[in-house]
Amino acid sequence: PKGNYLQRISEAINMTRNRHLARMISKEIQKYMHLLVVYGNGHHAVLRKAVEATMGKPIYEGTLSRSPRLLST
């Protein structure tokens, strides 16, 4: 096994969380015509192919501007 004990636990947790997230996305997209999925870059790297296979290519990918005007509205 790669890594020390805590690194292996962390990897197992991340894999479990990503599998759960992929299942939830798949389940919800079957119920709703439109679905917004927001998650961090780490999840994106792992889940991109699965999400695109289920939902198609994203219509928006990236980060939003964090200008003070945007945050105050």
Tell me the pLDDT tens digit for each residue of 8-26.
999 999 999 999 998 998 8
Highest mean pLDDT among 18-32, 34-48, 49-63: 18-32
> Of residues 15 and 60, which shows the higher confidence score?
15
Q: Cα–Cα distance between 52 and 46 in angstroms, integer?
A: 12
- Specify the 3-state DSSP secondary structure of 40: coil
Q: Which residues contact 8 (CB under 8 A, 6 or more apart)?
A: 1, 2
Q: Which residue has the tokens 């389940």?
A: 27
Asked if residues 54 and 25 have their Cβ atoms less than 8 Å apart, the reply is: yes
What is the mean predicted confidence (pLDDT) over 19-38?
86
Q: Check residues 4 and 51 and name the one with the higher pLDDT.
A: 4
Confidence (pLDDT) at 72: 38
Report the percent of the chain where pLDDT is more than 90: 22
